Amino acid sequence: MHGRMSLSQCILCVFAAAGTVAGSFAAAGEDASGRSKPSNRSRPSEHKSIDKYEFGRGDRSFWLFEPADPKPKSAPVIVFHHGWMAYNPGIYGAWIEHLVHRGNIVIFPRYQNDVSTDPGQFLANSLSATKDAFDVLATSPSHVRADRKRFVLIGHSAGGNLSALMAAAAKEEGLPEPKAVVAVTPGEVKPLAEDALKDLPSTMLFVVTVGEDDQVLGDTRGRELYSRATTISKERKKFVLFRSDLHGFPPLIADHTSPAASSRKLDTGEAPFRSLQMFDAEVDALDVEGYWKLADVTIDAAFAGKTLDEATDRGKKWIDLGRWGDGVVVTPPIIGDDLASFPRVIHPSGAKIINWFTPWN
């Protein structure tokens, strides 16, 4: 797509690249067969409350979410990168809360002000915000100190791509060496440079997930990231294909928006499609037993110095997503390290490659 775009084309691009217009379906109830939604197996919280802070304005601003009650002296740091135009942390609030309750500091860089922010500036903006956040954590007496030896990056959609790029740039930019990157249904609006991932730490754990029903981006960027992470050995990286399950109600749909899990406690009232982005992004089994568990296991393994093969028994510990109300097993993801063994996820409309534009051109 080049030149001036129609309103419908602009809206299509925003919905496609943002990746978080409507999240997982999670309304309570049963279908006509009495098959209820699968239960989410809860995990204990190490910290009962969260301290939150906003710093700056615009595309280099950021949020800090810190564990409290009890407040630790220091904690691991997770940078959570949102999808394009999903810069309201409430869209991912339940996942962020889960991470912080487990004892992690979460940095949430905004990295874009609105649709006019050039994607070529995303990485620079996020690096600037992340370094500022580390400075705050190191110097302000009211904040939890950052444990720089335990640093992880998580990102969704454009944020998944950005997390991998930040990991490759971390050493040169004076950031701690990331122990792990979890890139969830990654995508971007500009091509990935051939050498963009050449400096990924070889000791890092790397997980890329895609969704069987991702009709926004398919699996193209996920496969690119995984295949170009050549510095990382197979026992340290995994490719995961989450699959949909229509057995019960509400169904579990492994689409591009499924990682969204909203929380009104973290809702800032921002984002161009806030109502849609927040409305259906409720927590379900794909969140708790899928994305969250996958990230938790990866983080714990990275901090313990284990490979993913050691921590997951070559992915087997990620397979169980629970059961439906009638006892039927939820469709498990496909996990492995050989891309040739995975079925392709092809976007049906061909819109998986979106050329950047400015609305006034």
pLDDT tens per residue, range 142-171: 999 999 999 999 999 999 999 999 999 999
Mean pLDDT of 310-329: 94
Written as six digits, the tokens of 181 are 């990157």
- Around 118, how many Cα atoms within 13 Å sit in the side-chain half-sphere? 3
- pLDDT score recorded for residue 303: 98
User: Is residue 246 predicted with pLDDT exceeding 50?
Assistant: yes
Q: Tell me the domain boundaries of the chain.
A: 7-341
Separation of alpha carbons 202 and 221, rounded Å? 21
pLDDT digit string, tens, across residues 17-36: 344 333 333 333 344 334 55
Separation of alpha carbons 133 and 150, rounded Å? 15
- pLDDT score recorded for residue 22: 33
Task: Note whether 218 and 352 are within 8 A (CB).
Answer: yes
CATH architecture of 7-341: 3-Layer(aba) Sandwich (3.40)
Strand order, beta sheet including 62-68? 49-55, 62-68, 105-109, 74-81, 145-156, 180-184, 205-211, 237-242, 334-336
Model confidence, pTM: 0.87
Written as six digits, the tokens of 312 are 């997951």
Neighbouring C-beta atoms of residue 14, cutoff 10 Å:
16
How would residue 278 be classed by pLDDT, with cut points 50, 70 and 90?
low
Separation of alpha carbons 240 and 111, rounded Å? 27
User: Is residue 229 predicted with pLDDT exceeding 90?
Assistant: yes
User: Is residue 37 predicted with pLDDT exceeding 70?
Assistant: no
User: Is residue 77 predicted with pLDDT exceeding 90?
Assistant: yes
pLDDT digit string, tens, across residues 192-214: 777 889 999 999 999 999 999 99
